[in-house]
Structure 1
Amino acid sequence: MSLRYAVLTLLDIEPGSGYDLKRRFERSISHFWSASHQQMYRELHKLHAEGLLDCTEQAQEGKPDKKIYRLTESGGSALREWVQRPAPAQKIREPFLLQLFAGHHLTRGQARDAVRRHLDEHRELLQGYLEQNERVKQSDPQLQKRFWLAHQTLLLGIETEKAWLVWGERLLEELE
């Protein structure tokens, strides 16, 4: 998957500025796909140049005009075509696991500290996902129905974080 389809997907939900998109990205897609602010803006400009997005300028008092992007008919078609293609399963690409693979260079204490740090990060991620899930449950039922499949990605994120915590706690017990 490329960032282009993440951008098209977010604009399919609702038109917005680059800033709006970045905020939406951080609350949703960033849980399973990463992109910097600069990458996002570069992609917006490319998609606009390709005719997949329209851009209108909205005047703001005391600030530069805000560019609002929305999907064109071609952009919607490209998104529908892409979403219907089979997506290959991705292997895990986790730097921490690579470090553990070379873990024979760590003392037991260093390994325990590394696992604890990683567990703390996953607890924090899980907490954020659970809070976001509560917001989804409180949202408009029509939106819940429309974005039911998108919500499933959040639920997988919750289960993934729980699995990391179970695995990490077991590893920590072995290290102690």
Structure 2
Amino acid sequence: MSLRYAVLTLLDIEPGSGYDLKRRFERSVSHFWSASHQQMYRELHRLHDEGLLDCTEQPQAGKPDKKIYSLTDRGRQVLKEWVQRPAPAQKIREPFLVQLFAGHHLSREQARVAVQRQMDQHRALLATYLEQNEKVLKRDPQLQRRYWLAHQTLLLGIEAEKTWLAWGERVLRELDAQVEE
């Protein structure tokens, strides 16, 4: 997948400025796809140049005009065609797992600290996802139905974080058991 389809998807939900788009991206797609602020703006300009986005300027007092982007009919068609194509399963790319794979260079205590640090990060992500889920569940039922599949990506994120935490607990128990031997 490329950033272009993430941008098209977010603008299909609601038109917005580059800043609006970045904020929406950070609250949703960024949990499974990353992009910098600069990449986002470059992609907006590219999509606009390709005729997939419209751009209107909104005057602001004392500031440069705000550019509001929205999908063109062609942009909506490109998104529709892309979403109907099969997506390949993505392999995990997790630096921590590579480090753990070389974990024989760590003492048990160093390994324990490394696993605990990862678990802390995954606990924080889980808390964020659960908070977002509460917001989704408070939305208008019509919006919940329309974006039901989008909500499923959040629910998968919640399950993934729970799995990370359960796995980490098992690793910590095993490390503790090895110390006792």
Give TM-score, length-normalised by structure 2.
Answer: 0.96
1:23 and 1:55 mapped to 2: Cα distance?
A: 18
Alignment of structure 1 residues 14-163 onto 2, 5 Å: 14-163=14-163
Aligned-residue CA RMSD (Å): 0.6
1:144 and 1:72 mapped to 2: Cα distance?
A: 25
* Equivalent position amino acid for 2:144 in 1: Q
1:57 and 1:152 mapped to 2: Cα distance?
A: 34
1:101 and 1:8 mapped to 2: Cα distance?
A: 38
Paired residues in the alignment total 176
Superposed CA deviations along residues 119-172 of structure 1, whole A, max 9, x for unmatched, are 000000000000100000101111000000000000000000000000001101
Deviation at 1:13, TM superposition (A): 0.2
- Gaps (5+ residues) in structure 2? 177-181
2:65 and 2:169 mapped to 1: Cα distance?
A: 51
1:83 and 1:76 mapped to 2: Cα distance?
A: 11
1:38 and 1:169 mapped to 2: Cα distance?
A: 38
Deviation at 1:108, TM superposition (A): 1.3
2:38 and 2:175 mapped to 1: Cα distance?
A: 41
* Equivalent position amino acid for 2:151 in 1: H
3-state SS in 1 of match to 2:23: helix
Deviation at 1:61, TM superposition (A): 0.9
Off by >2 Å, runs of 4+ in structure 1: none
Identity across aligned pairs (percent)? 80
Superposed CA deviations along residues 58-77 of structure 1, whole A, max 9, x for unmatched, are 11111111110000111000
3-state SS in 2 of match to 1:104: helix
Aligned to 2:179: none
3-state SS in 1 of match to 2:9: helix
1:8 and 1:175 mapped to 2: Cα distance?
A: 46
Superposed CA deviations along residues 16-36 of structure 1, whole A, max 9, x for unmatched, are 000000000011111111111
3-state SS in 2 of match to 1:35: coil
Structure number, greater radius of gyration: 2
3-state SS in 2 of match to 1:91: coil
1:111 and 1:37 mapped to 2: Cα distance?
A: 35
- Gaps (5+ residues) in structure 1? none
Aligned to 2:172: 172
1:50 and 1:87 mapped to 2: Cα distance?
A: 23
Give TM-score, length-normalised by structure 1.
Answer: 0.98
3-state SS in 2 of match to 1:26: helix
Matched, 1:9 2:4: no
